[in-house]
Structure 1
Amino acid sequence: MTSPYHTAAREKRAAERASDERNTTLPVASTETERPHHPHHLHIHPPAPKSWFPVREAGESGRSGFHPWHFFRVIARSSNLASRIVNILWPVVPAALAVRYAAPHQELAIFILAYIAMVPCANLVGFAGQNLAKKVPHVFGVLAETTFGSLVEIIMFTVLIKQYHPPSPEHAVDNTQVVRAAILGSILATMLLCLGFCFIAAGFKRKETHFSEIVSEAGSGLLLTAGFGLAVPTAFYTALYGRYDTNELKRKTLEISQSTAVLLIIAYLVYVFFQMRTHHGIYDAVFEADHERDDDKHKELRSHRLTLVESIIALTIGIGLVTIIAITLVDKIHYLVEKRGVSDAFVGLIMIPLVEKAAEHLTAVDEAYDNSMNIALSAVLGSTLQTALLNGPLAVIIGWGLGVPMGFNFEVFDLAMLLLAILTVGNFLRDQKSNYLEGVLCVIVYVAIGVAAAHYPNPHALHEAFPGNGTITTAPETAGSEAGHH
């Protein structure tokens, strides 16, 4: 049976060919006598400024270059109500930087202010990425928007790995363990919390929301593949722990993680090629249909946009601020874990993903509310897959290059939650429709995981409580990423 989205893609291509044929056969007015005698009856719009970069009509700003007044006004208005509300937090950014340098001993205040300041900075990166994405074709735009939204995550992972110290009494927090938890936490936050709110937002206006099987099936299959790939090193280590030399087992597990990271990146590149080259017609038809159904379509057409130059400037400013705030947050994680007793599993699984993914979540929920569920679902699944197939593997490769033992040897608890979540979401996506009940269930599952993570003990606490337990690594030089496995 032929899918309606395949039919729509064929019809779109046929319409484009017919339009091209008409354009080649239409006569061109070359003299003044062939022009209309009463031009004052025509409503002629001034042409947009010429640009060296071909801009899609949906992303055309009508301006070129950089205009400070328009630049700040467009950023303040942002793309939706939620983003405009987030912009209220901008005064926290200079406050966080001021407290960091003026009162470095106020560690809790620095962490809280930096945590809040990350939200508007990430929102700026996401908004600038949106403006840039609207200037290119739909499929490439969705991928570009997801990529720019993930820059915050990549920066956080890089800073954590760069500031890695081997576990010791002075450095009880293992940054690689936090990165591993953050990889899975980012996947869970997007796949459960964000998707759940998308289903709830869409349910405010309609009983059921339908989406394309092209988006859901490709995303579900890749999610399961990514979960399987991430589980291989942990399964290898757990199966042989206690039956094989520990140091040799760690070395082999790290090598497996590095090989798996390369394979997952290859899988992501194939997925991008699938979307942009061989099946781009189908995806274009799906996204175009969503754009036509968008409840805010006319409002978006009237909205102001950044120019290409302004988008690049906003991205540069946002990335710079995100990097500074990320360094501040990472510096204070050890204080939060050691002095305040917060579980590093909770920091990695819940706290870091929520703040780094805030902008992407707001955008996806807004699209779902406006009846563009395919675009929202593509953003959710695309962000999830980008973390699992690109950002997480990049963290392993960065650690490989810096000589840091960053691998995919996850906590069994974290990995079990990931695989169960993938199965749950895949079941919700199978029928190509959603409602607010499924959204509430996704959010409840995420909250349950968060409660468990908050009570999960830190690896060094386990070692202190059970120093003679054979399942806990006791040697200081090997009490790293595997110290908490049991």
Structure 2
Amino acid sequence: MGLFNRKSKAPAKEKSTARIDAAEKANGTNGSGEAPPHPATSNGGLPQFNHNGHRVTRGINPDGESGRRGLNPTHFARIAWRSSCGASRIVNVLWPFVPAAIALHFINGDHHLWTFAINYIAMIPAANLLGFSGQELARKMPRVAGIIIETMLGGVVEIVLFMVLIAKDNGSGEPGHGNKIAVIQAAILGSILTNLLLCLGFCFLVGGMKHKEQKFHPAISEVGSGLLLVAGFALLIPSAFFSSLSGSTVPAGDEGYTEESLRRDTNSISHGVSIILIVSFLLYLLYNCVSHDNIFEEVLEADELADRDRHKDLTKAKLTMTECVIAILVSLAFISLIAVFLVEEIEYVVEHGVPDNFLGLILVPLVEKAAEHITTIDEARDNQINFALFHCLGPSLMTALFNAPLVVIVGWGLHKPMDLNFEIFMVVLLVLSILVVGNFLRDGSSNYLEGALLVIVYIIIAVTAWYYPNSELTTSNGRTPTEGAQTVEHAIRMLMR
């Protein structure tokens, strides 16, 4: 078995064969275990029994029917441990880090780096449980609605981190201790770059090595890349506005356009752009789930039938609806705790030489997306390239169109100077990355060379982010005093001597 091969249950016992065969006959299957997604009954409705002989609950997709009700701790633990594939199961070995991370936080002593490292690792299995339970929940729903909900649940980790960071910000807007806005801004762009370059790159690389070339549907690639380009344009506008006018401002008290006025106008633009982006995200959901859902339903159904491990997935034991909800709540509780502990140690990590921008652009997105990326790469390996593409573009769109605007609006309500005024260097990286990915998606096919190139681009960005100076030395988004203010400060010091 390869690392990403999904595990299957042992063959059914002989005593249940007759019951399963009878169910297959009633549902119109061919006895191979590969039933149509929704085999019809005589009255044209959903089947009474699924491929495993389980009676299908009304409103539940037959592929996601568990055949059980309520909570069974033994079944729940076994299914959660098995997870979605071999790599996800390996991630579950990290669960001992979760209680260790919580305990370490309450132990007195100077062990900040250890606390950060243990909590960083502990985030991975907690996010893996959230992703797996979201995947199990998605199986019980229509395909398009299921994959949207699965994507949104994956984005909850990011939202929790952003909310904790903005709550911990000191509200001054100036660089130094207590300022978390630079980390949030870097994490927003880093999350998009991680999905577009690293995750999509490994999907193309692993899928291309297994299948040589994979074709994907333009309904997913064109809509996703188009929306990303619009999002990149929207995120660039506040930064371009500030940078173009920052050299023309006058000191406070003089007549003219002051830096305070520029900051205020930039914040207002960010608030307006954030509201517009959230409306765009709602339009994206409407397009996918309501007006054009039949197109995406057909594309995803064809991908399911092309899955090389579909017959194994159909026979897997599945979580009940109750178990899915419990797993989601438990994982969210752990994620929230770990996020709080992680954020509290960021300043100490920066003091030990890890740059702010590298922390936000690379480290934070990697840990919050690790479990989701494992599942996505597994889908590409199983030739479900449209599912994989949806899981790469969907979270990127959610970050750009919903998560980033949401944290700006929350900061607005908390009177924190959170805006979309990114460092020009970073937002240029984002726009160029979107253009690179859009160019690779244009021909509707992928191979391992394109995947390797995307990963190489990500590595180049990671190396550059390590050497990019912290906010104390950067000025393109106005997080440091202007030259005029520095001159006044120098004059005051000279007078005091």
Contact 1:168 1:476 in 2 (8 A): no
1:23-61 deviation per Cα after TM superposition (whole angstroms, max 9, x unaligned): 379xxxxxxxxxxxxxxxxx997653746xx11011111
Q: Secondary structure at the match of 2:248?
A: coil
Output the CA distance in 1 between the equivalents of 2:488 and 2:169.
Answer: 15
Q: Which amino acid aligns with 1:80?
A: C
Contact 2:52 2:315 in 1 (8 A): no
The match for 1:242 among 243, 247, 250 is 247
Contact 2:355 2:469 in 1 (8 A): yes
Output the CA distance in 2 between the equivalents of 1:322 and 1:215.
Answer: 30
Aligned residue in 2 for 1:273: 286
Output the CA distance in 2 between the equivalents of 1:275 and 1:281.
Answer: 9
- Aligned positions of 1:98-109 closer than 5 A: 98-109=103-114
Q: Which amino acid aligns with 1:99?
A: L
Contact 1:188 1:446 in 2 (8 A): yes
Q: Secondary structure at the match of 2:211?
A: coil
The match for 1:259 among 250, 272, 275 is 272
Aligned residue in 1 for 2:374: 362
Q: Which amino acid aligns with 1:402?
A: L
User: Which blocks of at least 5 consecutive residues in structure 2 are unaligned?
Assistant: 1-35, 250-257, 490-497
Q: Secondary structure at the match of 2:419?
A: coil
The match for 1:323 among 331, 336, 342 is 336
**Shift in CA distance, 428/46, structure 1 to aligned 2, threshold 3 Å:** closer
Aligned residue in 2 for 1:302: 315
Contact 2:97 2:121 in 1 (8 A): yes
Q: Kindly indicate whether residue 152 of structure 2 is the aligned counterpart of residue 147 of structure 1.
A: yes
Aligned residue in 1 for 2:235: 230
Contact 1:265 1:389 in 2 (8 A): yes
**Shift in CA distance, 46/193, structure 1 to aligned 2, threshold 3 Å:** closer
Contact 2:169 2:178 in 1 (8 A): no
Output the CA distance in 2 between the equivalents of 1:352 and 1:170.
Answer: 19
Contact 1:226 1:389 in 2 (8 A): yes
- Aligned positions of 1:84-483 closer than 5 A: 84-166=89-171, 171-172=176-177, 174-244=179-249, 245-337=258-350, 339-461=351-473, 470=482, 474=486
Q: Which amino acid aligns with 1:242?
A: G
Contact 2:56 2:65 in 1 (8 A): no
Q: Which amino acid aligns with 2:148?
A: L
The total of aligned residue pairs comes to 439
Output the CA distance in 1 between the equivalents of 2:57 and 2:376.
Answer: 32
1:46-88 deviation per Cα after TM superposition (whole angstroms, max 9, x unaligned): 653746xx11011111111001111111100001111101000
Q: Which amino acid aligns with 2:243?
A: T
Contact 2:51 2:314 in 1 (8 A): no
Output the CA distance in 2 between the equivalents of 1:437 and 1:115.
Answer: 32
Deviation for aligned residue 1:120: 0.3
TM-score by length of 1: 0.86
**Shift in CA distance, 44/135, structure 1 to aligned 2, threshold 3 Å:** closer
Contact 1:128 1:314 in 2 (8 A): yes
Output the CA distance in 2 between the equivalents of 1:446 and 1:299.
Answer: 34
Q: Secondary structure at the match of 1:165?
A: coil
TM-score by length of 2: 0.84
Q: Which amino acid aligns with 1:334?
A: E
Output the CA distance in 2 between the equivalents of 1:449 and 1:473.
Answer: 33
Output the CA distance in 2 between the equivalents of 1:167 and 1:404.
Answer: 8
Structure 1 vs Structure 2 CA RMSD: 2.7
The match for 1:48 among 52, 55, 64 is 55
Q: Which amino acid aligns with 2:459?
A: V
Output the CA distance in 1 between the equivalents of 2:55 and 2:487.
Answer: 67
